[in-house]
Structure 1
Amino acid sequence: MSAGPLLLFDGECGLCHAVVRFLLRRDRAERLRFAPLQGVTGQALLQRLGLPTADFDSLVFLPDVAAHVHHLRSDGVVAVSQYLPGGWARVGRLFGVLPTRWRDAGYRLVARSRYALFGQYQPTPLPDPRWAERILD
């Protein structure tokens, strides 16, 4: 597996897939890669990091897959936002000023109700076929 930033996300969550598409559209430098937590890549990395392999209420962001550094929940959101252009990185830094406890409380609230609010992921073709190369199994 090559080094570089990777976001692990709930592959069955409609909101999570929408966030991945949002990030794909804005990451014009094409640095970010993505993998569902339930997939082969996600499961291997969760095991390597000593994280639960069946609890998918948190995203996991690895700034460098080769390192053992990872960010969960709202810390992951803040970290991944720094890979986005201009205003999005600033929004992430502003969000990061809030205490982690507050950010994670909001994150957990959305995570608990994400299926009720946004539904389960229904596969649809990617708007840009090149994006498929950045989504790992």
Structure 2
Amino acid sequence: MSRPIVVFDGDCGLCNGFIAWLIRHDRDRRFLITGSDGPVGRAALGAMGLPPEIAASTLVVATCDGARLRSDAVAEVAAGLGWPWRAAASMRIVPRGLRDGVYRAIASRRPRRPAIDPSCGTPPPGLVGEWRARLATREDVAALVAA
């Protein structure tokens, strides 16, 4: 069974924080992760028909039904989590243009920091093992596309 892959900018402090939050709250291990600058991240973006540079400013969730971008990606993650986080997926009732405007405003102010490894980001010390266990592989990308 294929799992959605969250593609994020490994050099983005906000993105790394979001991935740490996701790992802490995704108790069913529904989502895989990959940094956009590594071969798996580039493969996932390519499989979704997206240029590699999109992930420099956009969170992407690659699913078997296609890519979710910006606020749709956040809603996709929320929908895959348990209560109370799943309720945040109701943001989809707000028009996408408005949601994405807020997303872009936040993204434009995000802190940049060099990642230890841009292909997988910078895991916090207490999450290194779980973070690495969630890293997607090329096989995961292939399974997602084949689903």
Normalising by structure 1, we get a TM-score of 0.84
1:30-73: CA deviations, max 9, x gaps? Answer: 1111001111111112222221212311111123xxx3511100
In structure 1, the gaps of 5 or more residues are: none
What is the Cα-based RMSD across aligned positions, in Å?
1.8
Residue 7 of structure 1 aligns to a residue in which SS? strand
Q: Which moved more, 1:80-89 or 1:41-50?
A: 41-50
Q: Which moved more, 1:49-58 or 1:33-42?
A: 49-58
User: Partner residue of 1:34?
Assistant: 33
In structure 2, the gaps of 5 or more residues are: 116-121, 138-147
Structure 1 residues 89-108: aligned runs within 5 Å:
89-93=86-90, 95-108=91-104
Shift of 1:108: 0.7
Of the two structures, which has the highest relative contact order with CA contacts closer than 8 Å and spacing of 6 or more?
A: 2
Q: Does 1:83 align with 2:76?
A: no
CA distance in 2, matches of 1:105, 1:114: 15
Aligned AA (1:35): T
Moved segments of 4+, more than 2 Å: 121-126
User: Partner residue of 2:142?
Assistant: none
